[in-house]
Each structure stands twice: as C-alpha cells, then as structure tokens.
Amino acid sequence: MSTKILFDRIDEPALNTLEVYERRGGYQALRQALTMAPEDVLKQILDSGVRGRGGAGFQMGRKISFLPHGDMAKYLVCNADESEPGTFKDRELMQKSPHMLVEGILIAAYAGDIHKTFIYIRGEYQLQADILEAAIAEAGRAGYIGERILGSDFSASLVLHRGAGAYICGEETALLDSLEGKRGNPRLKPPFPAIEGLYAGPTLINNVETLSTVPHIIRMGGAEYAKIGTETSTGTKLVSISGDVKRPGNYEIELGIPSREIIYGLAGGPPSGKPVKFWFPGGSSSPVLTGDDLDIPYDFDSMAKAGTMLGSGAIIVADESRRVLDTMLKVAKFYAHESCGKCVPCREGTNWTQKMVERIYAGEATPMDLDIMASVQEQIIGNCLCVLGDAMAMPIGSMVQKFRVELEAEIEAARERADGAAVQDVIPLGVADEHAGPLPVH
Amino acid sequence: MSFRDRRTSPDLTGDLQWRRGEGLRDPQNARFPVPRFGHGSRVPGWDEAVDLTKDPAVIPDLATTTIPQDLQREIEASMAKYPDRRSAVMAALHAAQAVHGWCSPAAIDQVAAVMRLTPAYVTSVASFYDMYKLTPKPANDVFVCTNISCSLLGADEFHETMLAAAEGEDINVASFECLGACDIAPMASVNGEYVGPLTDEDATAIVEDLRAGRPVLPAKQLRYRRSTDPDVQAEGTEFAPAAGAPRADTAGLTGLEARADRPGAEGAPVEIPPETRDDA
C-alpha cells in the first residue's frame, strides 16, 4: 500500500460531516497550529517544501512569506475554479472531505496573519458547492470559523463564491477580478497578488489540493512531510487520469514514480490493448508526450526537463487508434472559446489557430500551414498578461513538432478528398447570374 | 442589395456554418466566398448599433422597481458577505436567473436596483460568463461535455444523439467545455447533476426522467461514485445506491441551515438546486 495522505479512507460515508471528520482527528491540526506562533506554522509549511498543486508549482511557504507584514486587510483565496480539461481532483476532495479544505484554509490564514478568506468554486460544481457551504456553516457553528477561534486571538471569516463558467477565472488575477464582481480579465503583473490582489490588498491564492495538504503538514511536521516524494517535489500528488485507460479516476501517488506505473499500473493502460500514442502529463495546457516518454518520473522537475509540465496533474491518454488532428482541434477550439479577449496575441492567435486546423479538415491546407501555425504559437508565448494563450500554444506547438509526418499525411488526404468532391459537384451555370462579376479575392 | 436586406436570421450567436465551396454554390452568398453570419457579416452582431438618441440607463430606483421579496433578501444577504458590495453581483445574477429562468432585462434591472449599480454594469458581467443566459432558454439544461477526454470516448456522437432525443422537448442541449468529470467520460451535466459514463440509450432515458420529474439516471450519478484509487476505500462502505435508499454520501447535509433557505430543500435529503428551481 502506498502512502495516502489526502485520500486516506476518503470513501468513508458522511466524511463531509463535522462529526465523522472530527472522529477521525479532524481540526486537531488547527488546534495545534493555534497553540504555535504564526511564524512557526509558516516554518513548518516552508520545511515541507510543498509546491502549489494548481499548475505553476510554486512553493506555498514562500508565497506566504511574500505577504507584507503589518496591520492591513489581507486576504486568502482558495482557487477551486478547476476547469483545466482533464482535471477533476479538487472536485473529489471537496465533495468527499470538505472540512479538510476548510481546516487547511484556516491554518494557512493563521500563518499569513489573514482574517478574510474566500473559496472561489466554479459554477458548474453545484453539488460540491452545496456540500462546502454546508460544511462551512457547520464549522462556523462549532466555533472553527468566526471571532476568536477556539478561544485564541485569531479570527477569520470564510465566504464561498460561486463562479459562472469561465475557464479564465482559474487564472489568479482574473479570479480576483471576478471575485470583485467584474468581468474576469487578467491583470498586469507585477504587482503580484501577494502585494496587491483582492480589493488592492495583499492576497494569498492557493489551490484546493495545496490547502488541503496543510493540516497534514502540521500534523506530521514539515520535515517529516518532506521525506515523501523527491527532494524538489515533496509529498503526494493527486493525479486525474482519463481518456483511453481502463480505470480512469483520481489516484494519490508519491511524486517521482515512473509515469508508466500511473498509466499502466494504476489506470490499467488503454482498454483496446493498443500502445499509447500520446498523452498530456498535466492537463490540456501541457505539451504532449509520446509513448516513448512513459518512463519519465512523474514529478515537477523531470517533467520540466522533458519539455513539458506537471501542471495540475491531469493525465489524458490517447492510444494508437486516435488522430492527433482531432485532439488538436479540440484544444484550439477550447482556448479560442475561453480566451477573454483582453490581449491581442491570445485573442487572435487562438482564433486563427482554430481556423487553420479547420482548414486541414476542409482540405484547404498545405504543409506550409503547419509552419505558420507553429510561428503563431511562438508569437503568443510570453506576449500576454496571462498564460491562457501559452496554454494553447504549447500543446499545439508540441503536436506540430512531434506528429508532423502524420499531420502532413492528413493534409494530403483531406486535399484529395476535397478535390474528388469538387469534381463531382460542379456548380451549374447560370445559378449565380444575379451576382455576375468577378469574385472578390480573399 | 445591402447587408441588411440579406439578413435572414436574428440569431447573432449562431456558429459560422460554412464548408469548402459552399459560398460559391449558394446564390444568396454568391459574392461572399468567406464565412458569413445570417445577417451577412463576418462579425456577429456588427450592425446592432447602440441607439445614440437614448440616454444611458441610470441606476433603477428600488422604490419603483418591482422585485420578488425573496430575491431582494437573497441579494442583500450576499452583499453583506463581502467587503465590497459589487462582489455579490455574480451571486445576485445566479439568484435572479433562478427566479426568472434567464437574465431577462427585468432580472438585470432588479439586480441593478438592489445592488445600486447601473444595468450596463450588471449586463457587462452577465455577458462575460457562460452560465448566465441573456436570451430565454428552456427550463432544463443538458450540458454534454465535448472536451478532449469525453470526445475520445464518444461524446460528440452522444451529443448528436442527445440533440435528436430532446427534439421538441423543453430541454436545452448544448455542448460544453470540460466539466471536470473526465473519470465518468462521456458525461453530461443534467440540471447540474453530473451523470456518466453515458451510452446512446441514456439520451432517451434522460429525456424520460426529466419529463417525469425524477432524479436523472440515478445509477450513473457522479455523487455515488467511489474513488478508483484501490487503496483508499474504507471497509464495508457501499456507494452504489440501492433502489430507494437515502443518498448515503450526502446524508450529513440533511436539514442544515445553509440549505434551509432554498426552496424544496428543507429537511429532505439534498436535492439538486436547479431541478427544484426549474420546477418552481
């Protein structure tokens, strides 16, 4: 049996209630933290080396230490706007163990001297939001949230905020705008949210999984937690596996195990028995890897070395029978739809990439289109306020690079199909007489 | 013939329907071998000009705006939760949409009046997010996820089947971006309830369940799904619902005050809010 921290007996019925959670030792970590000085709590989190589980993989303790000290309105926002295609780990955590998240938020707030906290949950997660709302109310009645928590001097409020279906609001600054009641457009950084975030106050933003880990860090001790996983990627990680695998779902793994063990060992590999053709290691925003890359260890640094990223820990697997082109269109369409339109390279780049992929289907593309597509991706990366455009550019760029031969064959096949259709389907003369005249050139 | 004359459909949100060569073959569009919307433009809604003779709408007066009392109370409660009242605009729009069925001009005005914001501001927010509907819609929503994982496992085909099955019913079927449930792919969110993995037969079952007003595909609801991680299952727990059994994993939610203010939620095992809202 491997190490289970977040998922330890998560299927226990009614774990979402305070009664069962407390019976299992819940809120003991908060009690323990409140007897410690905030600096000591922060030190434990720093010692644990826990990195953000939302996508960027930034060390959580360092993020807290960036918050300015002093008497001012500081905020903590839990990012539960889990919208990255392929990711569904936070959903299971919030649905089955909401109090773990609440406890983590309170401890993190204590460490950062924060008194106002929020959870921004995506609007589609209605069941999970209802469960969280009930858990917050229950915790409030038990004295875990509110004024002078458990008799200490620490007070904190917690508000659940429901989103309304915008992928961009998972981006931290867009999330803050949305939480302020505006359209969810990203902001220029710097200033980073740790300095100037929600309502222009210093703001700590962390993912659900990261914050849910905090009670366990306090319980185990930071140094003890750091022994799990690899040196630079400590702890366990929830991975969401989907696509062509026998047992799709969430698995808690120790960081650093070979990817093959996750895809074949835990998830059972493709049900068809065909080999893996390509897979996304960290959600649809990560550059794809191929079947040859299955032995790369699954941790932040090894993935970065392989030219991709661990991201949110969402693995999407496609077997040999799948067309790269289909996935490419899905990726391009998704980002074109979700681009907020604030920055030109992203707004236009995602849109035109989608059109160029559609051109391949229509049989109008030439192999040169692949080069144009690749150059569009280069012009998006690093040129926008947020990384939504990059999130399309990186996987599309990697697909063009790694599957160029196949895409060129697709282009050729589609052209032949289209030419054949055109010969059979001649326009009858005279129909367009009303609009006679030279056709405009486009 | 001007662009205006060529307008055939007031639907400004429709997708571009154009395939190779179609513009050449269609006499209506003979001069335009580029994708066009129904009204002849490449840009949706390009000729919906702002009426410059009209003054901009001001904040509606709460005294003269009719608004359901419950809605007003709910919006005011949301406003009290935040340091800045504007933060409550999303919650207010959710509440107003639940009452009106969509974000109608009346709903926008009511939100604006209670929150002391201009209707333009409220509309700017409502038009940004996918879940607020600025046009009337059927009472039931079936959102079929057609993102990567789901489409690998046949979601596009299911979407077609679902569209055909819901023909003529009071059901809004739409393809949706990743709903965060790839473990049950292909899946759909039926009035907020996640169901999957779906087969073609489920499309008619969904329609029948919605028509009869019962829980949709109870055996396939995500809320009962056990974790797939083999090491985490507690002994002796059973997540799959026995016929007529109470909903085990949400048992702790019964009768909690947090839900008590919502219609149809008192005392009973938690129902999915939109279902109850839509029935109301």
Q: Which residue has the higher pLDDT, B232 or B131?
A: B131
CA dihedral A430, A436, A440, A441 (to 10 degrees): 50
Token reading at B149: 């994982």
User: According to the model, what pLDDT value does residue B34 have?
Assistant: 62
- H helices of B32-85, in order, are 69-81
Distance CA A129, CA A98 (A): 10
User: In residues, how long is chain B?
Assistant: 280
Region class of A430: left (phi > 0), else alpha (psi between -120 and 50), else beta = left
Segment A206-217 shows an average pLDDT of 97
Residues of chain A neighbouring B122 (CB-CB closer than 8 A): none
pLDDT tens-digit profile of A196-205?
Answer: 999 999 999 9
User: According to the model, what pLDDT value does residue A196 have?
Assistant: 95
The answer on pLDDT for A118 being more than 50 is: yes
Distance CA A191, CA A176 (A): 13
* pLDDT > 70: percent of chain A: 95
Residues of chain A neighbouring B81 (CB-CB closer than 8 A): 159
The answer on pLDDT for A441 being more than 80 is: no
Q: Which residue has the higher pLDDT, A420 or A83?
A: A83
Residues of chain B neighbouring A166 (CB-CB closer than 8 A): 128-130
User: According to the model, what pLDDT value does residue A296 have?
Assistant: 96
Segment A25-39 shows an average pLDDT of 96
User: According to the model, what pLDDT value does residue A3 have?
Assistant: 83
Q: Which residues pair with B221 in a beta bridge?
A: B195
The answer on pLDDT for A340 being more than 80 is: yes
Distance CA A391, CA A54 (A): 14
**Mean predicted lDDT score pLDDT of chain A:** 93
CA dihedral A187, A189, A191, A192 (to 10 degrees): 90
Could you tell me the maximum CA-CA distance found in chain B, to the nearest angstrom?
A: 74
Could B182 and A183 be called an inter-chain contact, meaning their C-beta atoms sit closer than 8 Å? Answer: no
Per DSSP bridges, beta strands A289-290 and A276-280 are antiparallel
Segment B238-261 shows an average pLDDT of 36
pTM of the model: 0.85
The answer on pLDDT for B228 being more than 70 is: yes
Q: What is the Rg, in whole angstroms, of the alpha carbon atoms belonging to chain B?
A: 23
Chain B residue with Cα closest to A131: B253
User: According to the model, what pLDDT value does residue A106 have?
Assistant: 98
The answer on pLDDT for A166 being more than 90 is: yes
Segment A259-280 shows an average pLDDT of 96
CA atoms within 13 A on the CB side of A270: 20
Per DSSP bridges, beta strands A116-121 and A75-80 are parallel
How close is the nearest chain B Cα to the Cα of A131, in Å? 7
pLDDT tens-digit profile of A83-116?
Answer: 999 999 999 999 999 999 999 999 999 999 999 9
Q: Is A193 within 8 Å of A203 (Cβ atoms)?
A: yes
User: In residues, how long is chain A?
Assistant: 442
User: According to the model, what pLDDT value does residue A66 have?
Assistant: 95
Segment A394-415 shows an average pLDDT of 95
User: According to the model, what pLDDT value does residue B181 have?
Assistant: 95
User: According to the model, what pLDDT value does residue A303 have?
Assistant: 95
CA dihedral A332, B183, A247, B197 (to 10 degrees): -100
Task: Measure CB to CB from residue B94 to each of A10, A162, A440 and give the nearest one.
Answer: A162
How close is the nearest chain A Cα to the Cα of B188, in Å? 11
Best residue in B2, B152, B191, B261 for a mutation probing chain A (most A CBs within 10 Å): B152
pLDDT tens-digit profile of B199-211?
Answer: 999 999 999 999 9
Task: Measure CB to CB from residue A243 to each of B149, B193, B232 and give the nearest one.
Answer: B149
A72 touches chain B (CB under 8 A): no
Q: Which residue has the higher pLDDT, A432 or A102?
A: A102
User: According to the model, what pLDDT value does residue A237 have?
Assistant: 94
A167 DSSP assignment: G
pLDDT tens-digit profile of B132-155?
Answer: 999 999 999 999 999 999 999 999
Of the given ranges (B62-76, B88-102, B217-231), which has the lowest mean pLDDT?
B217-231
Task: Measure CB to CB from residue B185 to each of A16, A95, A248 and give the nearest one.
Answer: A248
Q: Is A126 within 8 Å of B274 (Cβ atoms)?
A: yes
Apex A240 CA angle, A238 and A243, nearest 5 = 165
Could B148 and A330 be called an inter-chain contact, meaning their C-beta atoms sit closer than 8 Å? Answer: yes
User: According to the model, what pLDDT value does residue A362 have?
Assistant: 92
CB < 8 Å from B in window 97-126 of A: 116, 122-126
Segment A326-354 shows an average pLDDT of 95
Could B231 and A1 be called an inter-chain contact, meaning their C-beta atoms sit closer than 8 Å? Answer: yes
Instruction: Sort A192 into a burial class: Cβ within 10 Å, 0-12 / 13-18 / 19+.
Output: middle
Could B252 and A86 be called an inter-chain contact, meaning their C-beta atoms sit closer than 8 Å? Answer: no
Q: Which residues pair with A241 in a beta bridge?
A: A249, A315
B152 touches chain A (CB under 8 A): yes
Task: Please state the ipTM of this predicted complex.
Answer: 0.90
Number of neighbouring beta carbons within 10 Å of residue A441:
5
Could A435 and B30 be called an inter-chain contact, meaning their C-beta atoms sit closer than 8 Å? Answer: yes
Q: Is A6 within 8 Å of A104 (Cβ atoms)?
A: no
Distance CA A107, CA A78 (A): 13
